[in-house]
Structure 1
Amino acid sequence: MKMRHLLIVLSLGAIGWATSCKSEFERIRASGDPTAMYAKATDYYDKGEYQKAQALYELVISSYRGRKEAEDISYRYAYTYYHLGQYILAAYYFKNFVQTFGASTKREEADYMAAFSNYQLSPTFRLDQSYTVSAIEGFQVFVSTYPQSEKVADCNRLIDEMRKKLERKAYEEANLYFDLRNYQSAIQTYENLLKDYPETDNAERVRYMIARSAYLLAINSFVEKQEPRFKEAINHATEFLERYPKSEFKNEVSSFYDNSRKKLKQLTNVGYQN
């Protein structure tokens, strides 16, 4: 009986302790006292309790609008979203901070974090790359705006990383066109890749695929379209062989060139006879 009574007392004590801990946040949130909510929000923030900090900052933002504390509240409020992994809203509120507090000493950090939040949203190359593009643009603007910042090197590194991702996506899209035997679209996409990413380490293979696609396009075309397309295949093969005389693809591209010339000669002879 005594043991049962003791267990009940301990259970009630535990419930009371848990309730008191929970009620502190609830009590302050319901108090309607901006000063108390701001102080407690900052306390929660400093302890890493970002969900509670966010809820309280949200309640006091309007009360402090136009006052000196507004800058600190808006800055920390944006960071609560970042720390909670809510990167879309983090990017939004960091940008909002910059627009609202343009003269702030925290502006540089907020500009960087807006771009970095979009970077955190950048997915695998197989998915839509809208956030990747936004992050690149954000970092480029940052580098232009703060050329002396210690974060410039990081920005450039992240830009290069994301451009590699976009390049990979473009390359795989071109390969997909090739695999589907849509050689015209493949050629266009490969050529756009070289134009958009002139620094690519994959230029030799991309130009090989252009030459290969051009040859296969000509071979598989109706007769009336073959002559200009074989000429185009010859041009692409010639450019490749001149650029990469020692390439592992040299023999194959040479065969594209030789076969295209033979086919072109046959077409010319047929046309002459007709």
Structure 2
Amino acid sequence: MSSTAVEVGQRIRAARTRRGWSQAELAARLAGQPTPTAISYWESGRRSVGLDDLIELARVLGLGISELLPDPREQRPVGALLRAVAEQVDAQQLAEQLEAFAKDAEQRPRPSLLWEVAPASPRDTAEALLIAAGVKQPPVRIEELVAGCGILIHPWDFEDVDGLMVNLESGPVVWVNKTQAQTRQRFTLAHELGHKLLQHFDRFHLEFGNELSQHATGSHPEFDWRAERAANDFAANLLMPAVMVREAFAQNEDAQTLAALFKVSPAAMGFRLVNLRLTEPAF
């Protein structure tokens, strides 16, 4: 198990205990109603919490997502931009998958670059891309936006990784786990696009083969959780633009309906509505 998963689990357990809830009671309050065993695995660090579940946990526990994450100054650095790793990834296995992924991606035709957006804040960068692409209504065509930024989307099947971005000789490529639900794939694409447009690759890199197996367990000196949070913020603003969400909310306040309209998970939409102060956090 990873040290990050353990610390996140400890924070979930502490928040649950403060509320006087059992693991079963917490599970019953969460969208999708995971089993008490799943809660136990999260709290023990045996399984890491996915992004959608983390958002839902924060909502139910009445916390900000950052309160469930370790202090970035205490993080062990890692090499690759991996999002929502389900369990500790075997370095050699990941190295082999990345080599196969890169080899296959190099043979694929490259998309044309249609839009260039200067990096700014996550919100401003997302808004600039939406304006450049002429997006005026939901759902946001995330695949078209990624491709229009000159990035190849290459679905891959490796259960421990939701997505990552890597710069190959032929150009940038985003890995998205094709076995995941569509809403999760869409958020992954938006998150990885955020890393690219916010220029986090000045600080992150991927290495293949033996080099990767040395770095994947944690030795890169520049890893910063702020970049992950910025990419999540970018993704939320891109997939659920504030203006569009407010307009849709004025017509229908149901989070499930809005989630379907924007093609995001109900948990992500619920958190977005709270963030935009359209609804109150559920306690």
TM-score over 0.5 for the alignment? no
TM-score, length of structure 2 as denominator length: 0.22
TM-score by length of 1: 0.22
Which protein has the larger Cα radius of gyration, Structure 1 or Structure 2? 1
Of the two structures, which has the highest relative contact order with CA contacts closer than 8 Å and spacing of 6 or more? Answer: 2
